[in-house]
Structure 1
Amino acid sequence: MSAAPMGDVVTIRLAKENMKFSAAHFTIFNATERERLHGHNFRVEADIEARMLGNGMCFDYGIYKDRIVALCRELNEWTILPTRSPHLRIEEAGEHVYAQFDGQRIPFLRGDVLLLPIENATLEEFAHWFLLRLGEDREALRAHGITAIEVRVFSGPGQSAGRRMGFD
């Protein structure tokens, strides 16, 4: 059996036990319907497509394991509120954050809330947030021969959403 030639594309799957976060949220279905506030123990996986760069490997994927764990820590133990929802208005007043939804003014302690630049607090949007953050350093992606990344976020066994982005 011969070694894979340089330039072949390989998929590296990162799905470590510590790639997880716990957070509270509610999903907004439309202008008048939303879930009640609840929480999940979310799990994150990433598939990274990269070209073989020689020496029988693609890149040091420990870099991306560490990055995903750090991103999970950013979300861990927060109540996540989306700042880009057309149906939710966020008001900050001193030690409180108020989520205005369908005539309700929902109070939160500022120290418990993470305002995230997403449209809705859903698996789909969390996966996209991770993907955008992993793709921020285009120079490093090129240097590592990375051609695409897919991130999948799980809210429990058998329920997940994934988003994929290709890189030139």
Structure 2
Amino acid sequence: MTASTTDEPRDPTTLELTTIELAKESMKFSAGHFTIFSADRRERLHGHNFAVSVSLTGEPDDNGMMGDYGEFKRIVLDLCRDLDEWVLLPGRSPHLILREEGPYLFAEFDGHTIPFLRSDVQVLPVRNVTVEELARHLCSRLVDEGQVLQVAPIHGLTVKVSSGPGQLGSASWQRGT
């Protein structure tokens, strides 16, 4: 096999995209939650070991790389660490009222009050704590906080969150949409 010594110039009208997928065992978080099904039905409080994977689509550089994998992994691991070992509650649920009193956070649901220590709870800007809403939340953070977009010319990304084998939700973002 011989290497080419001539560099063919890239056609500037043709966009060359590639995708990398990150699904490291360390990209995970453990959290407590309950899913709300309706105004009067919810799961009991329980926990999961959530796994996170991210697909990034973008332009490879002249060296054939989209960016620094280490930076991509660090950003995703930081997001996972932010959610690890918390009770997660939905801040935008139409069926849950949250109220703080001193060191406590009370979740009111269907006439019942569920007490939590405020220091154990993270209220997320989601409608429900489900794999699909968690995927949307993480995807939004990756885009809105801009870290991953600064590492490389990203054109799209997909975040998947799994609560166990065979059960996952995903959310995607495309540049310009």
Q: Report TM bin, short chain.
A: over 0.9
In the TM superposition, what is the alpha-carbon distance from 1:142 to its structure 2 partner?
6.6
Amino acid at match of 1:127: A
| Percentage of pairs with the same residue | 48
Contact 1:53 1:145 in 2 (8 A): no
Match of 1:46 among 46, 50, 54: 54
Structure of greater Rg: 2
Contact 1:48 1:148 in 2 (8 A): yes
Contact 2:54 2:158 in 1 (8 A): yes
Match of 1:84 among 83, 92, 97: 92
What are the residue-to-residue correspondences of 1:147-162 with 2, within 5 Å?
147-162=155-170
Q: How many residues align?
A: 168
Structure 1 vs Structure 2 CA RMSD: 2.2
Determine the structure 2 residue equivalent to 1:69. Answer: 77
SS state of the match for residue 120, structure 1? coil
Match of 2:120 among 97, 101, 112: 112
Match of 1:21 among 26, 29, 52: 29
Tell me, in whole angstroms, the C-alpha distance in 1 between the residues paired with 2:147 and 2:116: 39
SS state of the match for residue 153, structure 1? strand
Runs of 4+ aligned residues of structure 1 deviating over 6 Å after TM superposition are none
Q: TM-score, normalised by structure 2?
A: 0.88
Note the alpha carbon deviations across 1:17-38, whole angstroms, 9 max, x for none. 1100000000001111100000
In the TM superposition, what is the alpha-carbon distance from 1:61 to its structure 2 partner?
2.5
Contact 2:31 2:83 in 1 (8 A): yes
SS state of the match for residue 99, structure 2? strand
- Gaps of at least 5 residues in structure 2 are none
Note the alpha carbon deviations across 1:50-76, whole angstroms, 9 max, x for none. 112211111113212111100111100
Tell me, in whole angstroms, the C-alpha distance in 1 between the residues paired with 2:35 and 2:63: 46
Contact 2:97 2:108 in 1 (8 A): yes
Query: Is 1:128 matched up with 2:112?
Result: no
SS state of the match for residue 106, structure 1? strand
Determine the structure 2 residue equivalent to 1:94. Answer: 102
- Gaps of at least 5 residues in structure 1 are none
Tell me, in whole angstroms, the C-alpha distance in 1 between the residues paired with 2:151 and 2:169: 28
Q: TM-score, normalised by structure 1?
A: 0.92
Tell me, in whole angstroms, the C-alpha distance in 2 between the residues paired with 1:143 and 1:159: 30
SS state of the match for residue 135, structure 1? helix
